[in-house]
Amino acid sequence: MKLTPGAVGMPGTTSPNRTGDWRVSYPVFHNEKCGGCRLCEMACPEGCVTGDPKAKHFEFDPYYCKGCGICMAVCPVNDIEMAQENR
């Protein structure tokens, strides 16, 4: 481990952590009824939902997604479903 005087850390160095390993369920983005409101993107605590509001298409990043289900809960058109992890 490289040690800096005063334990000073560098930006974005948590990126290698696969927090996706935590989850027991994951969101399925059907992208059928999506209205492009972006609420799922805003509501994700990890910031791992991305997409194109014009194309009305959103997806999650499985490397980081902790499976909390907030995106499913906030979607106003019920276009997201939570599925069980089978690993």
Which residues of the shown chain bind other proteins in the complex (CB under 8 A)?
Answer: 1-19, 22-23, 38-39, 41-48, 50-53, 61, 63-64, 66-70, 72-74, 82
CB of 84 to other proteins, least distance (A): 14
Pair 71, 44: CB distance under 8 Å: yes
Least CB distance to other proteins at residue 44 (A): 8
CB atoms within 10 A of CB 80: 23
- Nearest approach in angstroms of CB 22 to other proteins is 6
